[in-house]
Homo-oligomer: A and B are copies of this chain.
Amino acid sequence: MATELAVALTTEDDLLSRQELRARLLAVGEARYHHRHPFHVRMHQGELTRGQLQAWALNRYYYQSRIPIKDALLLAKSDDPAFRRTWRKRILDHDGDQDGYGGVEKWIQLAEATGLDRSSVISYRGILPGVIFAVDAYLALVRDSSLLVAVASSLTELFSRDLISLRMDKMRLHYPYLIPGLAYFEGRLTQAPEDAAFALDYVSTHARTAAEQQQVIRALERKCEILWAQLDAIDYAYVEPGYIPPGCFVPGESSSAASKTR
Chain B positions within 8 Å of A247 at CB level: 32, 221, 225
Residues 217-241 (chain A) with a chain B CB within 8 angstroms: 221-222, 224-226, 228-229, 232-233, 235-237, 240-241
- Which chain A residues numbered 35 to 63 have a C-beta less than 8 Å away from chain B? 36, 38
Is A257's CB within 8 Å of the partner chain B?
Answer: no
The residues of B that contact A133 with a CB separation of less than 8 Å are: 130, 133-134, 136-137, 226, 229
Q: Which of B128, B225, B236 contacts A129 (CB 8 A)?
A: B225
Of the residues B38, B225, B236, B261, contact of A232 by C-beta under 8 Å: B236
Contacts of A246 in B (CB 8 A): 31-32, 36, 224, 228
B243 in contact with A232 (CB, 8 Å): yes
From B31, B36, B229, B237, A130 is in contact (CB under 8 Å) with: B229
- Interface: A193 (CB within 8 A): no
Which residue, A32, A226, A232, A261, has most C-beta atoms of chain B within 10 A?
A232
- A222 CB contacts on chain B under 8 angstroms: 129
The B-contacting residues of A in range 117-133, CB under 8 angstroms, are 128-130, 132-133
Interface centre among A140, A222, A243, A261 (most CB of B within 10 A): A243
Interchain residue pairs A-B with the least CB separation, the first 6: A129-B225, A133-B133, A236-B236, A133-B137, A130-B229, A240-B241
B232–A235 touching, CB < 8 Å: no
Interface size class of A (residues with CB under 8 A): 20 to 34
A114 CB, min distance to chain B CBs, angstroms? 23
A245 beta carbon closer than 8 Å to chain B: yes
Are A232 and B130 also in contact (CB < 8 A) when A240-B240, A246-B32 are? Answer: yes
Q: Chain B residues near A228 (CB, 8 Å)?
A: 129, 245-246
Residues of B within 8 A of A128 (CB): 229
Bound-complex Cα distance A154 to B140 (A): 23
